[in-house]
Amino acid sequence: MTLAHSAAIKDRFLRKLFEYRSWLKWSVYTLLLINFGYYFWEEWVIAAHALRAGGTFPAWASAFAATIEEFSWFVLLVLFELETHALPDEAFTPRVERALHVSRIFAAFLLAYSLFAYVEYAVDLERKVTVLPGVTSLCEIADQDASFAYNMDYTTIDSDNCAELSNASEYFQVITESVVTDADGLTIEKQLSWVDVIELSVWLLIILGIEIEVRLQDRDIVGGQLMRAVNISKVLLYGTLILVMAYWAYRSQWVYVWDEFVWIVGFAVIEMNVVEWREEIKEELV
């Protein structure tokens, strides 16, 4: 196969992608809004167990860390869509650019808070979890407004289900005094908490890579070592996200797997925007 033939195949492939991009984009954005609603509902249910006795504002904010994160990513996705595709060049007035920057800073602040909440929770699970004293069976704390946590599932402990939830002889307090788990549940909780930290950190690095590409292409730079390094690093980062999806699938957290897939597709649309913009710059430079 000649280089010219390979280039022609690549061009046809890219044209087809761009033809279906609009349909794909709005489908993904709709799904992400649905996911946002689901995360809010899920964290509301968990908060009803963990904060049933009340809590401070930081405690409630931490309880909705995933919802805040989801909202922040959606804001960033829309901003990148505006900057890399939707807005024409003449629309980038100083006022518009300031609005984009302020919105991006706001979203970044929310993501930083989410990462802080994830790290704090993961560290607390490693250092502050205590054995529930004097309890060798869940039936001993049945009907006492306590919940059993296992693999992101929270169940109010009562006399009807206490014997079925766990047959362990040692239990741990997690999140708050009203939530307990056994050794297996604690191990899963720790793993899930660190996976959340890794997943959000990887996405922040991906965003940094896209931001670098956008800033370079603003200066009509479409090649060079930095651009190549960014593209190589993003392959590794997206590969890490696939491993995260594999772990969630192993834990049967299918909603998380689906959500991750949709976000990857959503940012693939942004990547297509960047590639199309890059090709336009190359044509103008010829």
Residue 131 lies in a domain: yes
Digit-coded pLDDT (tens) for 229-245 = 998 999 999 999 999 99
Residue 2 lies in a domain: no
Which pLDDT band, with edges at 50, 70 and 90, does 191 fall under?
Answer: very high
User: Domain range holding 136?
Assistant: 10-285
Residue 249 lies in a domain: yes
| Whole-prediction pTM | 0.77
**Would you say how long the chain is, in residues?**
286
Residue 5 lies in a domain: no
**How many structural domains compose the chain?**
1
Q: Which two tokens stand for residue 49?
A: 């167990």
Residue 118 lies in a domain: yes
Nearest-angstrom CA–CA distance, 66 and 42: 10
Contact 282, 220 (CB under 8 A): no
Residue 180 lies in a domain: yes
Which residue's entry shows tokens 């829309």? Answer: 78
Residue 148 lies in a domain: yes
Residue 147 lies in a domain: yes
Query: Residue 111 has what pLDDT?
Result: 85
Question: At CA 86, angle to CA 85 and CA 92, rounded to 5?
Answer: 95
Q: pLDDT > 90: what percent of the chain?
A: 30
Which pLDDT band, with edges at 50, 70 and 90, does 16 fall under?
Answer: very low
